[in-house]
Structure 1
Amino acid sequence: MSVSPWRGRDLGTRTVAYTERDAILYALAVGARASDLDLVYEEHLRVLPTFGLTLAQWAPDALGALGAFDVTTAVHGAQRLLVRGPLPRSGELTTHARVAEVWDKGSAAVFEVEVTSEYFVATWSLFAPGCGGFDGDRGPSAPARAEGAAARRLSVDTHHRQAALYRLLGDRHAMHMDPAAARAAGMPRPFLHGLCSLAATTLVLAPSLGAHPAELAELDARFAAPVFPGDRLDVTALPDGNGAVRFQAWAEGRTALSGGRARFRSAPPTGGHPTQEENPDA
């Protein structure tokens, strides 16, 4: 087995400042309602853990800028997040990044960019066509699907302005806004950021377990197909014990999120009381 020369590459350290306004804008961008006062009102503010991912977006972008892959064809394949502690309402966040692993998928490679901070460890999996074939390890297989009689049915309604709003948090890749850039990336029109649809899903997963979304402790999911602004996400969630849930989501019949798992610190060990249909906007 060979090893990619990018494996272990240090991407440096960066310190980013943010305010309560940024944290509130983020919550609104991923679908928080005006009535969610502890997410959108500074008097009661709790910062969503996934907000930290917007502050660390520089790391996968930095790897692309170094020429590791073609930034016009590489896509965000999966995301992991381990929460070490709650983010302050405002302040500065220092993150350090490195290429933790490079998997050889034959015609493509998967770059795992790991970002560490005092408050979280986050890993971007970037699927890069044309970068494989170096006789390396293929990496782990896909996780099991969230299916079973006890699975809960949830829904997330995205809106047509959501990608335009979310990009203000730092991910300004043109394919999420510019129709021509989206077509160049093989999409019929601009599509929603994967991290936006994933964070929006955690907002409905948490209450289904009797938890608060700000108590997210772990998150892992693969981006299987694009979500377009205005799509409805149909989510299947299967409680997995100890405040955890396995999930997957469909957008207009397409599997959008697969192999998902989330765990919340405040969830009861049993995962709360299951229902067949749950929608916080109902």
Structure 2
Amino acid sequence: MTAVEHKQAGAWRGVDLGTRTVTYTERDAIMYALAVGAEATELDLVFEDRLRVLPTFALTLAQWAPDELGSRGAFDTKTALHGSQELKVLKPLPRSGELSLTASVGEVWDKGAAAVFEVKVECEYFVATWSLFAPGYGGFGGERGPSKPPAPEGEPNLSAELATFETQAALYRLTGDLHHIHIDPAAAERIGQPRPILQGLCTLAASTLPLARALGAHPADLVELSGRFSAPVFPGQALPVRGWRDGDAVEFEVGSDTVAIAGARARFAG
């Protein structure tokens, strides 16, 4: 990669990625809830007569935005990684509807060997921010950006379990994440994995269900979520969720010896 190409990464800062209108039905919202681990007995997540839409469903509606940046050539889509995710809920999603989503590039951080692109998607219901780690695109003279947050102090005061299931990655693909590494063993092998891996956004969203149960909250009352993707998860794994509760918020991590979601935080209304 030439020096000229290196310098192009910083030029993406603030670029408008456009506005799209997305539509969804109650069926889409229910399928999403099942894909992230809702139980058949949780009728207000899986039954249209009582439906409350999970706030993390917003992330599937906005997935086009980081894909759009990649398609414009900002980074190599074969090597870029989804580093972290943030979601701020402004008001509950309707059971079905049509949303107008506006996307733009936020900051572009220079990590030396890589660039980190922030993609922000906004609408009246939520603000979602992707952080995309692009190896080989750093060195353009920009700011390094914030460091990783320090690990929580002390012993966790909340524990839960995230029980994934064997068909989860295949089911979650139907919500819009069609990357081959989540279904095709050959594609997974090319990135050094022994079998298809679970989508990071699926793992992060799924972790909010046992967290909510442990907190005595409703998962649809989620108003804030963030987390960093630090290791792969395989469908069928059962992972501990360790939390450090602070009022209506909880800092948490998913995994034990190998942490899959690190530096995470969730807050529920109520």
TM-score (norm 1): 0.90
Per-residue CA distance 1:123-176 (angstroms, 9 max, x = gap): 000111111111211111111223423522211110111000001001111111
Instruction: Determine the C-alpha separation between the residues in 2 that align with 1:164 and 1:146.
Output: 34
* Higher share of residues assigned helix: 2
Q: In the alignment, which residue of structure 1 is the partner of 2:14?
A: 8
The amino acid of 1:16's aligned partner reads V
- Within a 5 Å distance, the mapping from 1:70-149 to structure 2 comes to 70-149=76-155
Give 1:187 shift: 2.5
Instruction: Determine the C-alpha separation between the residues in 2 that align with 1:60 and 1:47.
Output: 23
Instruction: Determine the C-alpha separation between the residues in 2 that align with 1:150 and 1:133.
Output: 39
The amino acid of 2:45's aligned partner reads L
User: How large is the RMSD of aligned CA atoms in angstroms?
Assistant: 1.5
Give 1:188 shift: 2.6
Q: Secondary structure at the match of 2:23?
A: strand
Instruction: Determine the C-alpha separation between the residues in 1 that align with 2:130 and 2:142.
Output: 19
1:218 maps to 2:206: no
Q: In the alignment, which residue of structure 2 is the partner of 1:244?
A: 249
Could you list the runs of 4 or more consecutive aligned residues of structure 1 that deviate by over 4 angstroms after TM superposition?
none
Q: Taking every aligned residue pair, what percent have the same amino acid on both sides?
A: 64
- The structure-2 alpha-carbon separation of the partners of 1:162 and 1:3, relative to structure 1 and needing over 3 Å to count, comes to closer
Structure 1 gap ranges (5+): 267-282
CA contact (8 A) 1:192 1:229 kept: yes
1:184 maps to 2:161: no
Paired positions, count: 264
Instruction: Determine the C-alpha separation between the residues in 2 that align with 1:68 and 1:120.
Output: 25
The amino acid of 2:261's aligned partner reads L
CA contact (8 A) 1:3 1:136 kept: no
TM-score (norm 2): 0.94
Q: In the alignment, which residue of structure 1 is the partner of 2:3?
A: none
- The structure-2 alpha-carbon separation of the partners of 1:53 and 1:244, relative to structure 1 and needing over 3 Å to count, comes to same
Instruction: Determine the C-alpha separation between the residues in 1 that align with 2:9 and 2:191.
Output: 28
CA contact (8 A) 1:2 1:135 kept: no
Q: Secondary structure at the match of 2:11?
A: coil
